[in-house]
A and B are shown apart, each in its own frame.
Chain A
Amino acid sequence: QQKVQQSPESLSVPEGGMASLNCTSSDRNFQYFWWYRQHSGEGPKALMSIFSDGDKKEGRFTAHLNKASLHVSLHIRDSQPSDSALYFCAARRHYGSSGNKLIFGIGTLLSVKP
């Protein structure tokens, strides 16, 4: 079973709109989260990480984590066509341990229409 579940699989929003992506870890051992973005033809790039309950804001991007439910979301306000990409949620078991692995969800394909 996939340890990290994402929804929706695809999402289309108008330019200037709000995009909301969801992610849940089914394994309580994996509770440190990252959001990665992958444009076509490139590798994934880390957008932001979140480890504590509540919101974390970086520019137009806001991540929210609920540790009790192991649910994390990513909200993109004022979406731009350049935000169109695959977005992956990734989770790790520990933050500081050198040997632990990063597990990815299946991704959400975001399309921002001009």
Chain B
Amino acid sequence: GALVYQYPRRTICKSGTSMRMECQAVGFQATSVAWYRQSPQKTFELIALSTVNSAIKYEQNFTQEKFPISHPNLSFSSMTVLNAYLEDRGLYLCGARGGAFSDYTFGSGTRLLVI
């Protein structure tokens, strides 16, 4: 079946430092990868959507300068949180799908704590 792995599962970084998280699709080709942040209140915010052969589209309040994303092939994506501060804490979820008519499959997330 389609699986998405995210690592690390949990990370702590000092305020002002950066942290990179990775997303691996297994069993399918991830033509689209969406990165979300789930707040401590459990709401989902879409950060950006990356689709092969298209530019990465960032949502309002999120920028490439703060959350650079790489989607170099159909099985892998990474995102970095640059210059992390308290408001960046949360569970970062990667959702991937294998085509326009597929459902998104999500990983278990990377939980970011900022101290």
Interface residues of A in 22-65 (CB under 8 A from B): 34, 36, 41-46, 49
**How many angstroms from the CA of A82 to the CA of B44 in the assembled complex?**
23
* Contact across chains for B93 and A95 when beta carbons are under 8 A apart: no
A-contact bits for B42-59, CB 8 A (1 contact / 0 none): 111010010100100101
**How many angstroms from the CA of A102 to the CA of B51 in the assembled complex?**
13
B-contact bits for A70-114, CB 8 A (1 contact / 0 none): 000000000000000010100000011111011110110000000
* Contact across chains for A98 and B93 when beta carbons are under 8 A apart: no
* Contact across chains for B108 and A34 when beta carbons are under 8 A apart: no
Number of interface residues of A (CB under 8 A): 22
Q: How many A-B residue pairs have CB under 8 A?
A: 54
* Contact across chains for A86 and B93 when beta carbons are under 8 A apart: no
* Contact across chains for A101 and B46 when beta carbons are under 8 A apart: yes
Interface residues of B in 66-115 (CB under 8 A from A): 93, 95, 99-101, 103-109
Residues of A within 8 A of B100 (CB): 95-98
- In the assembled complex, how far is the CB of residue A27 from the closest CB belonging to chain B, in whole angstroms? 14
Q: How large is the interface on B (under 10, 10 to 19, 20 to 34, 35 or more residues)?
A: 20 to 34
CB contact under 8 A between A99 and B42, given known A42-B108, A43-B93, A43-B109? no
- In the assembled complex, how far is the CB of residue B62 from the closest CB belonging to chain A, in whole angstroms? 12
Nearest B residue to A34, CB-CB? B103
Residues of B within 8 A of A102 (CB): 34, 46, 95, 104
Residue from the set A43, A88, A97, A106 with the largest chain B CB neighbour count within 10 Å? A43
* Contact across chains for A107 and B54 when beta carbons are under 8 A apart: no
**How many angstroms from the CA of A86 to the CA of B101 in the assembled complex?**
25
**How many angstroms from the CA of A80 to the CA of B113 in the assembled complex?**
33
**How many angstroms from the CA of A97 to the CA of B49 in the assembled complex?**
13
Nearest A residue to B99, CB-CB? A98
Nearest A residue to B50, CB-CB? A99
Q: Which of B44, B54, B57, B109 contacts A104 (CB 8 A)?
A: B44
5 nearest A-B pairs in the assembled complex, by CB-CB distance: A43-B106, A104-B44, A98-B100, A96-B100, A46-B103
